[in-house]
Structure formats: structure tokens, C-alpha cells
């Protein structure tokens, strides 16, 4: 674990993640960010009526498998059309390139371009769904009064959370091994027991009691309790 600490200590993203996590708690805007642009309900007013399934992986398979119904495809094409027109009118950026490969009729080129755009949009929606799923399992303040974690903050917090869990697991294994040897907990603890965040942690970090508070546990494991755990912010 020493090498883990070392690698984390030199990781520029660690501090960034922690600052992100803390700033996430500082946000106080009323609700989650509304969709924007041509995303459903966005200010562009061009709702795509995208209905993601609850399983990102399944949906990804569906996307790649081309299982979309004809109606949905048509609907999406219409919305794509709307976005395209908006882009042409300068309301949205549509890039500067040609609409499709050369050697095809302009209408075919455009049709191809539209289908590529729709595919890419679906792909990004799948990615966002997966990120939402990740947010739902990361311990942070899931509350309507707290702004949704940004993509980068989600990824960085997830990374730290995984490291934290791995550390906790390692501590538990050590504890089990220790107890199996029939040794007392009062024995001086190994000095090399460090959390990924560089704090010294006991083999059993909660002062020998199973009634440790959440902030106590979180602080012992991460050193960033309030930034990572919603329970740390809950009123008793």
C-alpha cells in the first residue's frame, strides 16, 4: 500500500478530485442541470424524445444492433432535421465540412450525415446514462438541492472511491489475519498502514469500537469524509 500512497501522492488528479468533491457539496443551486442544446427539452426546443433503457449495456447492444423501431428512427430523423436546420440558421454549430462522402447525391450525403449524427448522439446518451449510473453508486450528496456531479468529477471521485474500498478491504484482511493469530489489538500497530490519502490508519481504525460514527470511519479511510459521504452531512 505504500506504493499506492506514493502513486496517489504524485497523482495530480487526486487533489483535483478532492476539490471537485468538496465543491460539489458547496453547490446550492436548486435542481440538477437541465439538458441543453438539442438534447431533449433543451433551449433549442428540439426534444429528441430519447428513451434510454435502464441498462446502458443492453442499450448499447441495442444501438449497435440497429434494433430501433421504424417510428423512433423516423422521429429521430425529424429531430435531426430540426437540429440540422437550426445549425444552418446559425443557432447551432454544424461544422464546416461537407455533409457526406463525395460521389453521392447531395440528398444521400445528407441522409448519411444525419444518420451518423443520430448514431453519435445515441452513443453520447448511452455514455451519459452510464455516468448517471456511476453517480448513483458514488457516495456523495444525492440531493435535489445539490448540483449533479460533473463528468470529470464523477470519474475522479469514482476512482478515489475504488481505491478507498480496496484499502478498506486490505485493512479488513489484515485484521482477520491478526485475529486468527490470537494476538491482542493492543499490540502496537504496523507503522506502514497508510490510507491512499497518506493518513496513518490503524489496523482497526475505529478505536476498537463498532459504534464509530460515519464521519469517523470516512475520515479514517479517506481523509475527506464530508466530501465523499452523504451520511457525514446528514443531521442526526
DSSP 92: S
Q: Which stretch binds DNA (CB under 7 A): 31-39, 164-172, 184-192, 214-222?
A: 31-39
Residue 102 contacts residue 91 (beta carbons within 8 Å): no
Give SS3 for 200. strand
Any bridge partners for residue 158, and if so which? none
Residue 22 vs 29, nearer CB to DNA: 29
Q: How far is the CB of 21 from DNA (least distance, A)?
A: 11
Q: How far is the CB of 98 from DNA (least distance, A)?
A: 4
Residue 32 vs 172, nearer CB to DNA: 32
Residue of 37, 106, 190, 208 that binds DNA (CB under 7 A) = 37
Q: How far is the CB of 218 from DNA (least distance, A)?
A: 23
Q: How far is the CB of 153 from DNA (least distance, A)?
A: 6
Q: Is 5 in the site for DNA (CB under 7 A)?
A: no
Residue 142 vs 173, nearer CB to DNA: 142
Residue 123 contacts residue 130 (beta carbons within 8 Å): no
Using alpha carbons, list the distances in angstroms from residue 230 to 136, 205, 212, 214.
12, 20, 16, 9
Any bridge partners for residue 200, and if so which? 194
Any bridge partners for residue 194, and if so which? 200
For helices 151-180 and 2-9, the axis angle rounded to 10 degrees is 160
Residue 158 contacts residue 138 (beta carbons within 8 Å): yes
Residue 30 vs 210, nearer CB to DNA: 30
Interacting residues with DNA between 65 and 124 (CB under 7 A): 66, 80, 83-84, 87, 90-100, 113, 115-121, 123-124
Interacting residues with DNA between 135 and 164 (CB under 7 A): 148, 150-153
Residue of 5, 18, 20, 220 that binds DNA (CB under 7 A) = 20
Give SS3 for 194. strand
Query: What is the rounded distance in angstroms from the CA atom of residue 116 to the CA atom of residue 151?
Result: 24
Name the site residues for DNA (rule: CB under 7 A).
20, 26-30, 33-40, 42-44, 48, 60, 63-64, 66, 80, 83-84, 87, 90-100, 113, 115-121, 123-125, 128, 148, 150-153
Amino acid at each position: 500500500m505504500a506504493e499506492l500512497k506514493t502513486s496517489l501522492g504524485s497523482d495530480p488528479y487526486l487533489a483535483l478530485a478532492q476539490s471537485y468533491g468538496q465543491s460539489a457539496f458547496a453547490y446550492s443551486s436548486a435542481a440538477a442541470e437541465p439538458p441543453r442544446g438539442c438534447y431533449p427539452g433543451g433551449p433549442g426546443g428540439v426534444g429528441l424524445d430519447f428513451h434510454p433503457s435502464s441498462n446502458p449495456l443492453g442499450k448499447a447492444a441495442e444501438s449497435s444492433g440497429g434494433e430501433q423501431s421504424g417510428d423512433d428512427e423516423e422521429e429521430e430523423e425529424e429531430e435531426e432535421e430540426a437540429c440540422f436546420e437550426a445549425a444552418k440558421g446559425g443557432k447551432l454549430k454544424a461544422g464546416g465540412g461537407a455533409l457526406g462522402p463525395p460521389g453521392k447525391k447531395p440528398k444521400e450525403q445528407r441522409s448519411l450525415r444525419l444518420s451518423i449524427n443520430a448514431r453519435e448522439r445515441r452513443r453520447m446518451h448511452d455514455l451519459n446514462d452510464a455516468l448517471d449510473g456511476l453517480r448513483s453508486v458514488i457516495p456523495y450528496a444525492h440531493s435535489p438541492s445539490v448540483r449533479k456531479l460533473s463528468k470529470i468529477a464523477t470519474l475522479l471521485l469514482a476512482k478515489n472511491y475504488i481505491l478507498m474500498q480496496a484499502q478498506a478491504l486490505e485493512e479488513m484482511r489484515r485484521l482477520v489475519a491478526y485475529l486468527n493469530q490470537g494476538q491482542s489489538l493492543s499490540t502496537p500497530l504496523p507503522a506502514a498502514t497508510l490510507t491512499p490519502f497518506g493518513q496513518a490508519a490503524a489496523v482497526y481504525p475505529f478505536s476498537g469500537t463498532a459504534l464509530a460514527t460515519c464521519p469517523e470511519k470516512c475520515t479514517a479511510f479517506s481523509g475527506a469524509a464530508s466530501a465523499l459521504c452523504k451520511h457525514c452531512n446528514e443531521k442526526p
